[in-house]
Chain A
Amino acid sequence: MERISALMDGELDDDEAVQEFKRCGGDATLVEGWATYHLIGDVLRKEAPLGAGFNERLREALAAEPTVLAPRPRTFQRRARLFALSAAASVAGVLAVGWLAYFNQPIGPDSTGGTMAGKGPTVAEADASMNEYLVAHHEYADTASMPSVTPYVRYVNEIRREGAMSR
């Protein structure tokens, strides 16, 4: 995966890049890695990403294209590909630095966190009327966020408390 990153950033020389392309072609996880890094790049640059399933749609569209049987000018293709890559990498570099400059602005925890009241020991423990809300929250809310191991880790622990007494 590190080499995919290096390839994207134009850090590999011509021979290494060609090697990496060959490796990519035969390995689904590397292809996926390539897509992931590009997606992350898009997100960092706040560009509209291509969206889920783009690769599949592209592949289907290409498969539907008629095949043209003609000799391939290989060297030219490779050069063009490498040129396009290094150009893309330079742009990515520029944007990455811009992104950093943006986030180095003082928006740290102190700006809003400082005003937050510390959680005192006097906060009440939720009463039984909250049970239904808590269960509903875990059913929906946990799947709305980043999926972790399973969205139901909190849920299964919440429903332990639910049972005879709340019914």
Chain B
Amino acid sequence: MKAVCLRWAGGLAVGTALAASTYADQLQDTDALAWLQKIAGAARQLSYEGTFVYQHGDMVETSKIIHMVDGGSEYEKLSTLDGPPREVIRNNEEVLSYYPEIKTVRAEKRAGKRTFPALPPELLTNITEHYDVRRGDVERVAGFDAQALVLEPRDGLRYGHKFWAEIGSGLLLKARMFGERHQVIEQFAFTQLKIGGKISLDEVRSSYQGEQDKWKHDRFASNDAKDSDSGWVIKNQPPGFRKVYEMRRSKQGGGAQLLTHIVLTDGLAAVSVFIEPNSLKQKVNEGPAQHGAINIYTRLVGEQRVTVLGETPAATVAQIANSLAPRGR
């Protein structure tokens, strides 16, 4: 910060006219950041229902969402409209996932409490340090006027984003993630939406409520996931990414074997690190892989299988994977 002040002091001599014009540019940024705050708050505080498309790679999928806020409690029902029927029922931190064709419901109560009333300051700092945030034009999305926001990454370790927020409420109507050549990597957009209005509790209950008693209840999830020190360190952590979770969780289908899961974020992009013993000496496909918008990098470190994945360029997950090591070694 000292260097910054010195630079500024030098700039003072140039004249106040210049300062005034750059100050005006700066105000634009402030407004863009206020929009980010507004978007973050709107998603949690508004009741709405609508249909959205989600596109990644060459896949386009349509789902329906009903989101209801009642006295500070959040209820949400997500249902797929194409492909295999799936339903996700959420009440605050409690998530139920329904798989009707295999008559299974998976219950998960998330370990860490992460309900943000708005964008936490540390996330906002992270974002402004690694993305250039500015306002775009007002455009029409799903029949609403929407303020566009552009978040351009400041380096090649993360993707760019464009958000379209409903001009009155700030609800995110459309979001696009783009790569270094501005190619679209992933896109989410409402095609039909109703904001506000009365939503009853019945509308956010599962459609399978009557039959779920006879279903298989899978309670694996992260009930047993606790914040813990895995004993692994990332020696060359990409700038801007910081650790938000570190936990040990049970594997799907039970078993005594535990899996380490570390989550890093730069405020917009998240990366997961998974470490588990390769006890069955299975063949591991080391190196890069991808899945839709996600890049993956797998590596064997001694007897441990290390997998790093996230919505980032391939270089970012590779850098993390290649610098993971047990502490002290």
Query: Interface residues, chain A, CB within 8 Å of chain B?
Result: 1, 5, 9, 33, 36-37, 39-44, 46, 49, 51-52, 93-94, 96-103, 107-109, 111-117, 119, 123-127, 130, 132-134, 136-137, 139-150, 152-157, 159-160, 162-164, 167
Asked if A145 and B155 sit within 8 Å, CB to CB, the answer is no
In the complex, what's the smallest C-beta–C-beta distance from A10 to chain B, in angstroms? 12
Smallest CB gap from A47: residue in B: B121
B34 engages A36 (CB within 8 Å): yes
How far in angstroms is the closest Cβ of chain A from B97?
6
Residues from chain B with a CB closer than 8 A to the CB of A52 are: 117-118, 120
User: Does B76 contact A150, Cβ atoms closer than 8 Å?
Assistant: yes
B307→A109 contact, CB < 8 A: no
Binds A, one of B101-109, B196-204, B205-213: B101-109
CA distance A22 to B270 in the complex (A): 43
Residues on A with C-beta less than 8 A from B222 are 136, 139-140
Known contacts A146-B127, A155-B88; can you find 17 more A-B pairs with CB under 8 A?
A37-B34, A40-B33, A44-B29, A99-B4, A100-B25, A112-B157, A113-B156, A123-B289, A123-B295, A127-B289, A133-B274, A137-B272, A137-B310, A143-B110, A146-B123, A159-B99, A160-B83
20 sample A-B contacts, Cβ–Cβ < 8 Å, listed by A number? A37-B30, A44-B128, A52-B117, A102-B3, A107-B155, A116-B156, A116-B180, A124-B289, A126-B296, A127-B285, A127-B289, A137-B310, A140-B245, A140-B263, A145-B268, A149-B190, A152-B76, A152-B78, A157-B61, A160-B86
Q: Does B322 contact A (CB under 8 A)?
A: no
A44 and B30 in contact (CB under 8 A), knowing A101-B7, A124-B285, A143-B114? yes
The residues in B between 61 and 106 inclusive whose CB is less than 8 angstroms from any CB of A are 61, 63, 65, 67, 76, 78-80, 83-84, 86, 88, 90, 95, 97, 99, 101-102, 104
Q: Is the CB of B34 within 8 A of A40?
A: yes
User: Within the assembled complex, what's the spacing in Å between the Cα atoms of A109 and B269?
Assistant: 17
Select one of B11, B97, B249 contacting A159, CB under 8 A. Answer: B97
Query: Once the chains are docked, how many angstroms separate the CA of A97 from the CA of B4?
Result: 9
Please report the C-alpha to C-alpha distance between residue A155 and residue B188 in the assembled complex, in whole angstroms: 13
Residues of B within 8 A of A44 (CB): 29-30, 33, 128
Q: Which of B102, B120, B132 is in CB contact (< 8 Å) with A163? A: B102
B173's nearest neighbour on chain A, judged by CB, is A149
Q: For residue A42, which residues in chain B have a CB less than 8 angstroms away from its CB?
A: 121
Residues of A within 8 Å of B313, CB to CB, are 116, 119
Q: From residue B289, how far is it (CB to closest CB) to chain A in Å?
A: 4
How many angstroms from the CA of A42 to the CA of B30 in the assembled complex? Answer: 11
Q: Which residues of A contact B76 (CB under 8 A)?
A: 150, 152
B residues in contact (CB < 8 Å) with A: 1, 3-5, 7-8, 11, 19, 22-23, 25-27, 29-31, 33-34, 36-40, 43-44, 52, 54, 56, 61, 63, 65, 67, 76, 78-80, 83-84, 86, 88, 90, 95, 97, 99, 101-102, 104, 108, 110, 114, 116-121, 123-125, 127-128, 132, 152-157, 163, 171-172, 175, 179-180, 188, 190, 222, 244-245, 249, 251-253, 261, 263, 265, 267-272, 274, 285, 287-291, 294-296, 307, 309-310, 313-315
Residue contact A149 to B102, C-beta cutoff 8 Å: no
Question: Which residues on the B side are within 8 Å of A162 (C-beta)?
Answer: 99
Cα distance A42–B124 in the bound complex, in angstroms: 11
Residues of A within 8 A of B291 (CB): 125-126, 130, 134
Query: A148 with B172: in contact, given A125-B290, A137-B310, A153-B188 (CB under 8 Å)?
Result: yes
Task: Say yes or no: A43-B128 contact (C-beta < 8 A), given A98-B5, A146-B268.
Answer: yes
If the complex has contacts A97-B26, A147-B43, A157-B63, are A123 and B314 also in contact, measured as CB distance less than 8 A? yes
Given A33-B34, A40-B37, A116-B315, A136 and B80 touching (CB < 8 A)?
Answer: no
The docked-state distance in angstroms from the alpha carbon of A39 to that of B30 is: 10
Contact in complex: B11, A130 (CB < 8 Å): no
B288→A123 contact, CB < 8 A: yes
